[in-house]
């Protein structure tokens, strides 16, 4: 009964923060999802409008609609990951099916005012789908013992012992809440028998590894799930014949889970340890707010230009983590530290950088169109908050040096043959890092087809993006990483009805 109460007690506890640059990048990125038409044209809608997901690029786009309309889109997401680690390449695929867009616009026309149209719109978009998985297996000279040694050096041995009458999971939670994350990781390594003190003295602060090896075999699996969604309330108007202006209020919602599993063996025959396993679970949820402003101008019957400003997004987030560890030298009750024992972190905030977009489109009457968007976002301005937190201050300094400007280019085209529309698009997004070896540039292409029934439209899209990412096994401690070639393929079907 006491062990159940320990689990309940942890829900009221707070722990030292461990948020990093990875959290900032994860929630600063919005993928080109949304309606099937939007995806088919690479998201190049900044000077076009007339599409629900185009509101994310330029809020003035809702005033381009000529009729009130509702629309819905579902997508199949296919992930293909080739992970290179050591001298091995491992392949993993993942599929998920989501309802990723629902929207509506209400258009009010006037014949007696310079404001020809007023549009009120709402739209839900899944701007990031976190469902993904990759597996890496290979040989390395940096074993998991280095992770625990990194945190243990300088930690007093006394608190790492389980006190008389105390359960091991209670000790794990207590040391996390009182001494912080580093001491908690040292506790895990010591109780699992992976590290040992150089002296059997409570005041001891130095440790050595029980693992003997020249190299080890590691198997690592990372599974992520969840979403970053955006609900948009939009107001826009058409002034005279050639100017559209609009504004968005955006409400964001985040749900993210990351499971990681690591197994290690291949030690020397004389090594006291012959196997180690170390698993981690991170759960994040929260909400955010942003706003957007934009305008579209018709220069003549064929040329349109657009410009928009996307404010920073202010996120409020909470994390909780769980861990489990084992080895051939672990104490007998090590299994009581598992995913049911939860560390709840303090609430924290992330401010993502603002974004500017410029757009140009050429409309060829009823025959088709070409469109181009350019976006600029300075990722070095991202922040973890409160900035007064010394951990956040040091991480923000690292963010300012490690990250740079993200330049995005999107090109899309549509060719109409009576009721049929043929579409294609291309997308390029530069790496957010100054060192592009950590995260590479993203490239993508797309295609689609639509059929206009008069009062409704059915759209189908195919899109594919590719990017190389160095995925680190742990946020700190050791820098083992797999180079993952990520190929994401989406097939989307959308339907919209005018009324």
Please tell me the least confidently modeled range out of 13-27, 269-283, 480-494.
13-27
pLDDT at 477: 86
Q: Give the whole-angstrom CA distance, residue 45 versus residue 112.
A: 30
Q: Give the whole-angstrom CA distance, residue 307 versus residue 411.
A: 16
Q: Average pLDDT over the chain, rounded to whole?
A: 94
pLDDT at 130: 95
Q: Give the whole-angstrom CA distance, residue 423 versus residue 43.
A: 11
Contact between residue 257 and residue 231 where contact means Cβ atoms under 8 Å apart: no
Per-residue b or e along 122-132, where b marks 16 or more CB atoms closer than 10 Å to that residue's CB: bbbbbbbbbbb
349: its two tokens: 């905030």
- Banded pLDDT at 13 (limits 50, 70, 90): very low
pLDDT at 18: 64
User: Percent of the chain at pLDDT above 90?
Assistant: 91
pLDDT at 188 over 80: yes
- Banded pLDDT at 33 (limits 50, 70, 90): confident
Rounded to two decimals, the pTM is: 0.92
pLDDT at 3: 55
pLDDT in tens, 135-175: 999 999 999 999 999 999 999 999 999 999 999 999 999 99
pLDDT at 32 over 90: no
Question: What are the residues facing 94 on neighbouring strands?
Answer: 79
pLDDT at 9: 42
Contact between residue 31 and residue 129 where contact means Cβ atoms under 8 Å apart: yes
Mean pLDDT of 473-493: 94
19: closest CA among 475, 481, 478? 475
Q: Where are the beta strands (DSSP E) in 156-215?
A: 195-197, 207-209
- Chain centroid, CA 42 distance in Å: 20
Q: Give the whole-angstrom CA distance, residue 127 versus residue 26.
A: 12
pLDDT in tens, 315-369: 999 999 999 999 999 999 999 999 999 999 889 999 999 999 999 999 999 999 9
Mean pLDDT of 72-100: 95
pLDDT at 370: 98
Q: Give the whole-angstrom CA distance, residue 160 versus residue 158.
A: 5
- Residue 223 vs residue 437, higher pLDDT: 223
Mean pLDDT of 465-482: 93
Residues with Cβ within 8 Å of 389's Cβ and at least 6 positions away in sequence, in order, are: 17, 348
**How many C-beta neighbours within 10 Å does residue 287 have?**
12
Which runs of consecutive H residues, i.e. helices, occur in 11-46?
Answer: 21-28, 36-40
Q: Where are the beta strands (DSSP E) in 27-131?
A: 69-85, 88-109, 115-129
389: its two tokens: 């937190």
H/E run at residue 400: helix 390-402
Q: Give the whole-angstrom CA distance, residue 289 versus residue 249.
A: 8
């Amino acid at each position: 009964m006491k062990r159940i109460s320990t689990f309940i007690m942890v829900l009221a506890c707070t722990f030292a923060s461990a948020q990093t640059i990875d959290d900032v990048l994860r929630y600063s990125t919005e993928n080109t999802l949304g309606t099937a038409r939007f995806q088919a044209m690479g998201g190049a809608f900044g000077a076009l409008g007339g599409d629900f997901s185009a509101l994310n690029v330029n809020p003035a786009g809702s005033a381009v609609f000529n009729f009130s309309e509702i629309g819905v889109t579902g997508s199949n997401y296919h992930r293909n990951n080739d992970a290179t680690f050591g001298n091995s390449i491992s392949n993993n695929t993942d599929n998920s099916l989501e309802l990723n867009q629902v929207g509506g616009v209400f258009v009010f026309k006037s014949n007696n005012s310079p404001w020809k149209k007023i549009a009120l719109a709402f739209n839900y978009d899944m701007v990031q789908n976190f469902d993904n998985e990759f597996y890496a297996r290979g040989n390395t000279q940096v074993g998991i013992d280095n992770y625990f040694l990194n945190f243990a050096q300088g930690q007093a041995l006394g608190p790492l012992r389980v006190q008389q009458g105390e359960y091991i999971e209670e000790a794990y939670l207590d040391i996390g809440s009182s001494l912080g994350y580093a001491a908690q990781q040292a506790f895990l390594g010591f109780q699992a028998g992976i590290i040992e003190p150089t002296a059997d003295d409570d005041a001891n602060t130095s440790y050595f590894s029980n693992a003997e090896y020249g190299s080890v075999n590691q198997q690592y699996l990372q599974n992520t799930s969840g979403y970053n969604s955006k609900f948009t309330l939009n107001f826009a108007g058409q002034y005279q014949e050639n100017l559209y202006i609009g504004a968005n209020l955006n409400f964001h919602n985040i749900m993210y889970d990351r499971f990681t599993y690591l197994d290690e063996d291949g030690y020397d025959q004389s090594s006291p340890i012959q196997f180690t396993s170390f698993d981690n679970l991170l759960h994040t949820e929260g909400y955010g707010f942003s706003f957007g402003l934009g305008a579209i101008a018709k220069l003549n019957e064929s040329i349109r230009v657009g410009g928009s400003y996307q404010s920073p997004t202010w996120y409020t987030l909470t994390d909780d983590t769980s861990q489990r560890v084992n080895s051939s030298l672990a104490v007998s009750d090590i299994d009581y530290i598992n995913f049911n024992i939860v560390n709840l972190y303090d609430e924290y905030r992330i401010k993502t950088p603002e974004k500017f977009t410029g757009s140009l489109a050429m409309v060829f009457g009823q025959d088709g169109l070409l469109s181009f968007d350019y976006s600029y976002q300075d990722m070095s301005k991202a922040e973890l908050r409160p900035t007064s937190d010394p951990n956040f201050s040091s991480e923000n300094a690292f963010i300012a040096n490690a990250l740079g400007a993200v330049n995005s280019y999107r090109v899309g085209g549509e060719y109409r043959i009576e009721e049929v529309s043929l579409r294609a698009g291309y997308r390029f997004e530069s790496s957010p890092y100054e060192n592009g070896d950590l995260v590479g540039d993203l490239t993508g292409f797309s295609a689609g087809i639509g059929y206009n029934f008069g009062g409704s439209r059915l759209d189908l899209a195919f899109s594919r993006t590719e990017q190389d990412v160095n995925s680190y096994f742990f946020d700190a401690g050791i820098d083992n990483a797999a180079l993952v070639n990520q190929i994401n393929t989406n097939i989307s079907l959308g339907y919209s009805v005018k009324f």
